[in-house]
Amino acid sequence: MPIALFDHLLLLAAIVCAATLVRLLRRSDGIGRGYAIVVGAGLVWAVLAIGGDRFSGVIALASVILTVVLPWGLEHGARFAFARGHLVWLGRLSSVRAMLMPGSGLGRQLPIIEGLALLERKGVDAALGHFRRLADEAEDPAEVSVIHEQIIAMLFHGQRWDEGIAYYERRFHVGYAALRPSLALGLLRAYGESGQLETAAGLLRAIEEGPLGGDPNSAELLGQAWLTFLAYAGAVVPVDEVVQRRRFGLFGLSPATAELFKGIALGRAGKPEQAAETLSKVEGLAGPRDYRVLAAARSMLDRVDQAPARVEQAPVESDGPQAESQVPDGWAAVHQLEPELRHYVNLVTIRLRGFMIASPRLPGRERMWTTTTLTVALALVYAVHLLRGGGSMGLLELGAMSEDLWRGGSWGRVFTAAWIHVDLVGLLFDIYAIWLAGQVVERMLGSARMAWATIVAALAGVAASVLSLPLLWEFGFDSLAIVAPTGGNLMAVGAITAALWQLLPSRSRAVMPRSRRNLAVTLTLLLVANLLTSWPGLVGFGVAPVALLVTALVASLTVLSWPTDASLVVRRVLGVGVGLALVANLVAFVAVLREDPEAYLVESRAQRCELGGVVVHTPIGVTPMTLDRKVPFDLPIVDGLLDTLELRDGSLVQLAVYRGLGSGDRPALFELVEGLAGELVATAPGPLPSPFAELLADDPSWRGWDLWRNGERVGRVIEHRLPDAPSDAPATIMLLASPASAVDHAPTVYAAILAEAQVSLDAVERPRCRVK
């Protein structure tokens, strides 16, 4: 494995450990602090192994994979198995996960998981026996409570409703279930099944008035509790409203679960034929996660078939002016209820309908297709470049923007450049920003507008950066006339901008103020960090300011031009626009992959540069450099020309001129930089790429060296002594590369630059460049 790729993996491992450690310190999740120490040790080890001994790096990487990455995968596998009722696999995966996470304390949970596996293998009675033995042996009060909750869940699973209710009332106080979401929903259904609607109403009031009722993260739980209560109260109309308007996603319900609620409501309202018809639909709607819903529907269907039809009563009369104004006719239970209970059913109906009106686009459990696809695509493009290599020329072959190639008609780079990243840290930073912003934009506005705020906005930004060049030059804004070779961060800028606009109180009333404020602060910090690392002259070499501004503008218009709950026509128009953009991207990638950027740059280099009295013709990405900048290379940056695209990709390639006789047995670089000869050793170069190998073999004015430090090759120097220089002031132009393999990235371009270099009396000493 190449050293650079291995160091990237170590860096990724360190980032994974850091993210895991932050999550462990912020939330316990039932995991002990001892595991946090293990993760912290893995973080330190991975950081220290970067650039160090390969054996230590392999051990560090394996340790992180075994103790962090693999347990994460096992956790998601266990959740997948539990959701689909594969409880035996839940036990197996959880056991392996606990073994790989020393200090986590997860081993204490294994007996409970073993009881769930017994439920699948041997049935409810075997699981009950197992949990009762655990309850007799346990001493910790908190552990005993959890075991008793499992016993109640087993009784409810076996549809032993009265027995489960009695067990709960013996073991816990009345309001205990209001603090335990899963127990509360199960108990609410049990009260409904046993006909204790008054008790169910009291439990629902306790949920609404307790901590769960005031927590925005519990909105789905509260919605499920409302629907459960209304279904068992026989309130057909409000439950049917949820199903017909397909608002069940607001409460985290599947279509099969929503249809089950409707069937229960019809059955309780004395409409067995309609209930049977509705419950029969559940089997066709049920997915892999709905195995318990399907069992409940079959059980309810058997009872409905045996129930006689009841005569429908008149709708519940409104209690008070508020109910009369807000509850339409028929929005209440239709079978006989006590007045106080009828009033409470009306209140729950009002709350349910108000929730649906106030939260038309509240996040449900739907997948964020655009956000997920976008992050995967960005990661895949980076992986392709990492595996292909090739430095700056590899980026250009993949689709990076180049002003030279743009002038030559390579229009497709406007589309492809926005997908490219050149470093792992930047990629992970942007992926996190897109994922976080997607929680707001895509969940509240839909996939089409998320695509417009990211993909379309980034494409518009790249296009603006090249189309605005003549205008910027005309008005003297040369410092802003920048064409960024890659624009992967533009998608993150667009996503963050759109999310910040959407978090305005006027556009997200359903989001709690505290949650809105926390998200806005985090996204603002991400945006500021992105702009600081992208703006030219601050950090690195910058991205076109015009691209950043246009991207933010398009993302803003995407959010502000239409209301949150846009019409179907608007959504379809936006979807068509996204489809056209994706088709254009595909065509552009095909067109770019058919180009030969290296051959074009040999023939057409649009920049004339002067340094040390010598004129050279280079691609526009080569930049004058007169500062001794600190870079992570064993060769210093000297006054000359720097290939910025190579530097962004992790290699140092520069051009410099030495005026003087020098020494014939060592590189002119040693004469140019005082003291460097004492640090480095120069030897004959190893195998050189064509055409350098032919030039050095046939022409004595060409020479080359490999540079070594402490027995390791750290760079390569190729020199061309210019024949047209005066004898009293000879000129030697040098190509400096670190690592030495960087010369191989674009050898024909570099050879053409050195071969065509000329001494000019009009050329200045200090490096400067201008576009022809």
Q: Cα(466)–Cα(473) distance, rounded to whole angstroms?
A: 12
740: pLDDT strictly greater than 70: yes
How large is the average pLDDT for residues 563-588? 87
Tell me: the pLDDT tens digits for 35-49? 889 998 988 888 888
104: pLDDT strictly greater than 90: no
How large is the average pLDDT for residues 652-680? 87
425: pLDDT strictly greater than 60: yes
3-class secondary-structure state, position 680: coil
List, edge to edge, every strand of the sheet that includes 731-738.
622-625, 640-643, 652-659, 731-738, 712-721, 702-709, 681-683
Q: Evaluate if pTM is beyond 0.75.
A: no
Q: In this predicted structure, what is the pLDDT of residue 4?
A: 56
How large is the average pLDDT for residues 158-183? 86
Residue 419: pLDDT band (50, 70, 90) is very high
Q: What is the dihedral of CA 177, 182, 185, 191, to 10 degrees?
A: -60
Residue 363: pLDDT band (50, 70, 90) is very low
Is residue 756 within 8 A of residue 733, CB to CB? The reply is no
Residue 305: pLDDT band (50, 70, 90) is low
CA distances from 750 to 89, 558, 706, 734, 745 (A): 59, 44, 17, 10, 9
Is residue 483 within 8 A of residue 403, CB to CB? The reply is yes
* Closest among 665, 678, 676 to 637, alpha carbons compared: 676
Q: What are the structure tokens assigned to 121, written together?
A: 């293998």
Distance of CA 183 to the CA centre of its chain: 33
Tell me: the pLDDT tens digits for 466-482? 888 888 777 777 666 67
Q: Cα(492)–Cα(490) distance, rounded to whole angstroms?
A: 5
Q: In this predicted structure, what is the pLDDT of residue 214?
A: 60
Q: In this predicted structure, what is the pLDDT of residue 367?
A: 65
The residue among 397 and 530 whose pLDDT is bigger is: 397
Strands 622-625 and 614-618: unpaired
Of 304-313, 315-324, 686-695, the range with the lowest mean pLDDT is 315-324
Q: What are the structure tokens assigned to 126, written together?
A: 């075997």
Q: Give the orientation angle of helix 424-445 with respect to helix 3-26, to 10 degrees.
A: 50
Is residue 366 within 8 A of residue 249, CB to CB? The reply is yes
How large is the average pLDDT for residues 531-542? 61
The residue among 556 and 248 whose pLDDT is bigger is: 556
Residues of the chain with pLDDT > 90, as a percent, come to 31
Is domain 369-597 given the CATH code 3.90.1300.10 in the classification? Answer: no
Q: Which part of the chain has CATH 3.40.1000?
A: 605-771
653: pLDDT strictly greater than 60: yes
Q: Give the orientation angle of helix 87-100 with respect to helix 110-122, to 10 degrees.
A: 160
Of 113-127, 284-298, 534-548, the range with the lowest mean pLDDT is 534-548
User: What is the CB neighbour count within 10 angstroms for residue 538?
Assistant: 10
**Helix or strand (DSSP H, E) at 657:** strand 652-659
Q: Cα(286)–Cα(254) distance, rounded to whole angstroms?
A: 8
How large is the average pLDDT for residues 85-97? 87
Instruction: For the domain made up of 605-771, give the CATH fold.
Output: Protein Transport Mog1p; Chain A (3.40.1000)
Q: In this predicted structure, what is the pLDDT of residue 321?
A: 38
Q: In this predicted structure, what is the pLDDT of residue 5?
A: 62
246: pLDDT strictly greater than 70: no
Residues of the chain with pLDDT > 70, as a percent, come to 88
Mean pLDDT of all residues belonging to the chain: 83
Q: Which part of the chain has CATH 1.20.1540.10?
A: 369-597
